[in-house]
């Protein structure tokens, strides 16, 4: 049932960095969702005016709990309100889960490449979470492109290197890198994807999410690196 | 005390006669695509009209397409991701011109694209001056991320029906789901009736 609107109570809000926020909602009788899916969020003003926007789900389904990632857009109608104003214990309405293409299904065993730009990391983080908590042992490589350390999301959870579950993570800074980072700050290049197309059991199923310019560039590099276009799934913001 | 989004005021109320339910107006031109943008040079571009038995009825190359009578529609477009863009201006060929003189009993059409994208529409929605194959946006060649070199334009339906990188139209005896329709989107997609998902 996509058509149904649920009441969602804001249970907690977490700061991911100076501007990005994670919002935790409780939704009674939530039907569950797949990693990579999104929801519509509806706000209602006192005069009855309503505004609706889509937000990616940042974590796999867990009971009645929904986790959304919100990057406020300057001058935006909905995102600044969600990020800063909506009080704890107040409600919004949500509808979903939505999206049947940009999803990772845990039963698949093929290698996966996740390529996130900026707040495009949000749905990919749900996939990493799902992979870590599942029995699946498909190779997972996460490439997280971001402008600077100050704009990093999920710093505790998505650390560079390989974790015990076999998920490898690399951070690719475009404007400003931390001192210990060997890769100089710069735009994503073919060199960053070297080897990504030829993994064991490959080519990988690729999920690319971020602003349009980033997704166009990254998806083009993947195809140039030899990944069949049909193996590249994209989701764009704005 | 109202506990439903308290303190939310929203922006200026847009004029509702041009805004379908659940949409918001945008000045930008966002992009929705399922995969990489295919590279389609106009030197090898072809547009094919295919009959219900798979037979090639008509084919145009880029130059031949440019020789057809051109129209310049200015229309509002509505994306299922909830943005609406008013007064977009295009240049291209009316689907009526492409179908002129074709005698068919087909009820539906599959729009097919370079890169493998497909979307289904009733044939009647592509005729009567309501659909075009466009190659120019705002006076400039249509950029690849927006469907260039040429895309379908069917502004009275949600914009995923306006297939990017279109390579042809295939006539169908009955309705079949295209790409997004087979992963849960609505078969018809009328924005004024909010036909977003299969269950709407």
pLDDT tens sequence across B16-30: 789 999 999 888 888
Nearest to A116 by CA among A140, A138, A95: A140
Residue B34 touches partner A, C-beta closer than 8 Å: yes
pLDDT tens sequence across A5-24: 999 999 999 999 999 999 99
Spatial distance between the Cα atoms of B31 and B158, rounded to a whole number of angstroms: 13
Rg (CA), chain A: 18
Chain-chain contact of B82 with A45 (C-beta, under 8 angstroms): no
In Å, how far is A3's CA from the nearest CA of chain B?
A: 6
What six digits make up the tokens of B86? 């008013």
Which residue in chain A has the smallest CA separation from B26? A238
Chain-chain contact of A49 with B13 (C-beta, under 8 angstroms): yes
pLDDT of B2: 63
Task: Point out the residue among B32, B35, B82 whose CB comes nearest to the CB of A229.
Answer: B35
Task: Point out the residue among B24, B37, B198 whose CB comes nearest to the CB of A51.
Answer: B24
Chain-chain contact of B36 with A86 (C-beta, under 8 angstroms): no
Nearest to A122 by CA among A191, A7, A20: A20
B86 in Cβ contact with B72 (< 8 Å) = no
Task: Point out the residue among A49, A86, A102 whose CB comes nearest to the CB of B10.
Answer: A49
Which residue in chain A has the smallest CA separation from B32? A236
CATH of B2-28+44-193, one of 3.90.420.10, 3.40.605.10, 3.40.50.150, 3.20.20.80: 3.90.420.10
pLDDT of B90: 98
Q: What is the residue extent of each domain of chain B?
A: 2-28+44-193
The list of chain B residues with pLDDT below 70 reads: 1-2
**Residues of chain A positioned with their CB less than 8 A from the CB of B37:** 216, 219-220
How much is the average pLDDT of A57-71?
Answer: 95
pLDDT of A46: 93
Judged against a pLDDT cut of 60, whether residue A100 lies above it is answered with yes
Task: Point out the residue among B30, B38, B200 whose CB comes nearest to the CB of A2.
Answer: B200
**Residues of chain B positioned with their CB less than 8 A from the CB of A206:** none
How much is the average pLDDT of A93-103?
Answer: 93
B149 in Cβ contact with B66 (< 8 Å) = no
Given the structure tokens 């350390």, which residue do they identify? A149
Which spans in chain B are helix H?
62-67, 95-99
Task: Point out the residue among A92, A223, A236 whose CB comes nearest to the CB of B31.
Answer: A236
B148 in Cβ contact with B142 (< 8 Å) = yes
**Residues of chain A positioned with their CB less than 8 A from the CB of B81:** 54
Chain-chain contact of A98 with B10 (C-beta, under 8 angstroms): no
Chain-chain contact of A90 with B8 (C-beta, under 8 angstroms): no
Q: Edge to edge, what strands does the sheet with A91-98 contain?
A: A50-56, A38-44, A91-98, A5-15, A21-26, A65-70
**Residues of chain B positioned with their CB less than 8 A from the CB of A234:** 33-36
Interface probe for B, chosen from A37, A38, A55, A90 (most Cβ of B below 10 Å), is A90
Q: Quote the percentage of chain A above a pLDDT of 90.
A: 84
pLDDT tens sequence across A107-166: 778 999 999 999 999 999 999 999 998 887 888 999 999 999 999 999 999 999 998 888
Chain-chain contact of B35 with A91 (C-beta, under 8 angstroms): no
Residue A73: band (very low, low, confident or very high) from pLDDT cuts 50, 70, 90: very high
How much is the average pLDDT of A77-90?
Answer: 97
Using alpha carbons, list the distances in angstroms from residue B77 to A72, A134, B48, B138: 25, 42, 25, 14
Q: Cα B84 from chain centroid?
A: 14
Which residue in chain A has the smallest CA separation from B3? A90
pLDDT of A2: 52
Q: pTM of the prediction?
A: 0.92
A131 in Cβ contact with A138 (< 8 Å) = yes
pLDDT of B14: 73
3-state SS assignment for residue B77: strand
pLDDT of A238: 60
């Amino acid at each position: 049932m996509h058509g149904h609107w649920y009441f969602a109570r804001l249970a907690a809000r977490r700061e991911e960095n100076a501007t990005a926020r994670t919002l935790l909602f409780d939704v009674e009788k939530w039907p569950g969702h797949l990693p990579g899916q999104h929801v519509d969020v509806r706000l209602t003003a006192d005069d009855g005016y309503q505004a609706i926007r889509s937000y990616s789900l940042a974590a796999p389904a867990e009971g009645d709990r929904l986790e959304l990632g919100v990057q406020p857009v300057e001058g935006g109608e909905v995102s600044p309100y969600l990020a800063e104003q909506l009080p704890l214990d107040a409600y919004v309405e949500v509808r979903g889960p939505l999206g049947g293409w940009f999803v990772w299904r845990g039963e698949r065993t093929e290698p996966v490449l996740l390529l996130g730009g900026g707040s495009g990391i949000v749905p990919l983080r749900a996939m990493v979470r799902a992979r870590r908590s599942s029995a699946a042992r498909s190779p997972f490589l996460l490439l997280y492109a971001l402008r600077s350390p100050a704009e990093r999301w999920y710093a505790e959870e998505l650390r560079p290197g390989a974790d015990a579950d076999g998920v490898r993570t690399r951070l690719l800074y475009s404007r400003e890198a931390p001192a210990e980072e060997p890769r100089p700050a710069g735009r994503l290049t073919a060199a960053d994807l070297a080897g990504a197309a030829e993994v064991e059991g490959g080519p990988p199923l690729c999920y690319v999410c971020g602003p349009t310019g980033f997704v166009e560039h990254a998806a083009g590099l993947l195809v140039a690196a030899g990944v069949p276009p049909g193996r590249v799934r994209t989701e764009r913001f704005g | 005390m109202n506990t439903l989004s308290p303190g939310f005021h929203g922006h200026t109320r847009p004029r509702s006669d041009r805004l379908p339910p659940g949409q918001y107006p945008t000045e930008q031109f966002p992009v929705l695509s399922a995969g990489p943008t295919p590279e389609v040079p106009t030197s090898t571009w072809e547009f094919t009209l295919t009959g219900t038995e798979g037979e090639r009825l008509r084919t145009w190359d880029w130059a031949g397409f440019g020789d057809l009578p051109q129209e310049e529609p200015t229309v509002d477009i509505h994306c299922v991701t909830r943005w609406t863009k008013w007064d977009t201006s295009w240049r291209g060929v009316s689907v009526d011109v492409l179908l002129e003189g074709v005698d068919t009993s087909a009820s539906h059409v599959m729009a097919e694209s370079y890169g493998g994208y497909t979307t289904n529409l009733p044939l009647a929605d592509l005729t009567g001056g309501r659909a075009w194959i466009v190659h120019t946006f705002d006076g400039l060649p249509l950029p690849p991320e927006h469907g260039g070199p040429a895309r379908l334009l069917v502004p009275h339906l949600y914009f995923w029906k306006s297939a990017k990188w279109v390579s042809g139209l295939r006539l169908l005896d009955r309705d079949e789901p295209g790409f997004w329709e087979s992963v849960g989107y609505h078969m018809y997609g009328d924005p004024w009736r909010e036909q977003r998902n299969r269950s709407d």
